[in-house]
Amino acid sequence: MKIAILSRNPKLYSTSRLVEAAEKRGHEALVFDHLRCNVVADIGEPKMFYQGERITDIDAIIPRIGSSVTFYGSAIVRQFEMMNVFCANPSIAIVRSRDKLRSIQIFSRHNIGIPKTVFANHPKQADKLIHELGGTPVVIKLLEGTQGIGVVLAETKKAAQSVIEAFYGLNANILIQEFIKEAKAADIRAFVVDGKVVGAMKRQGAEGEFRSNLHRGGSSSVIKLSRAEKKTALEAAKVMGLRVAGVDMLQSERGPLILEVNSSPGLEGIEKATGKDIAGSIIDFVERGASEKVKVDKVGA
């Protein structure tokens, strides 16, 4: 098989591990910078070009689309779908998961545990919004934030109002969520591949830091998920439509609460914490998916 990994940087840990795992299984692995891919739409013949060369013989792709280029990256994934190439994650699922508010609304609709969340468009409503969440402290998040950037813990009502007014003054879209004190600055990342949890780790925030992101100095350790945590992770990935996902959860007194479902989860933290070949699990899934797609296409023909 010829597998293309859509990534801006072939030297990144996740990208290089996917290449290594694919080649170990006898496949040809190519890394395409999706920002250098060009779409040509023609009647009955969708085309893709990379650095001026037409792409014609890719069996499967693994999207590693950064949040800052979601629009263009998802368009490239969609074009591969139009070309009948197997995609580890569908383009619509990538777009859906990148919209934090839309994700929260979907989880709520499907009765999946989430921190209580409010969204509004006027700073004068701040007092009522905070009251709706049960008072302070509250967590205020930029909708476009990643890796803990744009996430603020407001411990008093006055601080919350100041942060909310500042964000609104910048015309930023924000979510305001209840603070889950019992989580103790830790969360769980469950790595889901093809409807199975293939690895899980607990991430603990650095001293004095309420955010558990590894990029912000947090630490990770392997964890055995409870039945409820495993069920919640699988349901969250399923309703997002993601086949490969990093599901972030908080442990609360009322059960696991979903924070986010990541469509391009990093491999370094989870592989080092668990000692598992997560990249290999992804390639094995892509093998199965591409093979099944070929069989269906032949039957349909």
What is the mean predicted confidence (pLDDT) over 69-93?
97
Whether the pLDDT of residue 29 is over 90: the answer is: yes
b/e map 171-187, b = 16+ CB within 10 Å: eeebbbbbbbeebebbb
Cα 271 from Cα 76, distance rounded (Å): 28
| 5 neighbors 61 (Cβ within 8 angstroms) | yes
Which run of H or of E encompasses 14? helix 13-24
Least confident of 197-211, 222-236, 278-292: 197-211
Q: What is the DSSP track for 140-196? A: EEETT--TTTTEEEE-SHHHHHHHHHHHHHTT--EEEEE--GGGTTEEEEEEEETTE
Binned at pLDDT 50, 70 and 90, residue 247 comes out as very high
Whether the pLDDT of residue 121 is over 50: the answer is: yes
Task: Give pLDDT tens digits for 122-181.
Answer: 666 778 888 888 888 999 988 775 655 778 888 898 898 888 888 888 888 888 999 999
Which run of H or of E encompasses 95? helix 91-98
CATH of domain 2-89: 3.40.50.20
CATH 3.40.50.10860 is right for the domain spanning 182-280: no
What is the mean predicted confidence (pLDDT) over 100-120?
94
Binned at pLDDT 50, 70 and 90, residue 20 comes out as very high
Cα 267 from Cα 276, distance rounded (Å): 10
pTM of the model: 0.89
| 218 neighbors 209 (Cβ within 8 angstroms) | yes
Q: Are strands 60-63 and 2-6 parallel, antiparallel or unpaired?
A: parallel
Cβ atoms within 10 A of the Cβ of 247, count?
28
Q: Give the CATH H-level superfamily of domain 117-179.
A: ATP-grasp fold, A domain (3.30.1490.20)
Q: Between residues 284 and 182, which one has the greater pLDDT?
A: 284
What is the mean predicted confidence (pLDDT) over 1-7?
97
Compute the mean pLDDT over every residue in the chain, rounded to the nearest whole number: 90
Task: Give pLDDT tens digits for 262-291.
Answer: 999 999 999 999 999 999 999 999 999 998
pLDDT of 296 reads 55
Phi and psi, residue 39, nearest 5°: -100, 135
Q: Between residues 223 and 293, which one has the greater pLDDT?
A: 223
| 157 neighbors 135 (Cβ within 8 angstroms) | yes
Binned at pLDDT 50, 70 and 90, residue 299 comes out as very low
pLDDT of 214 reads 55
Query: Taking phi first (over 0 means left), then psi (-120 to 50 degrees means alpha), and beta for anything else, what does residue 282 get?
Result: alpha
Whether the pLDDT of residue 293 is over 80: the answer is: no
Sorted by where each begins, the domain ranges of the chain are 2-89, 117-179, 182-280
Task: Give pLDDT tens digits for 99-108.
Answer: 999 999 999 9
| % of the chain exceeding 70 in pLDDT | 90
pLDDT of 249 reads 96
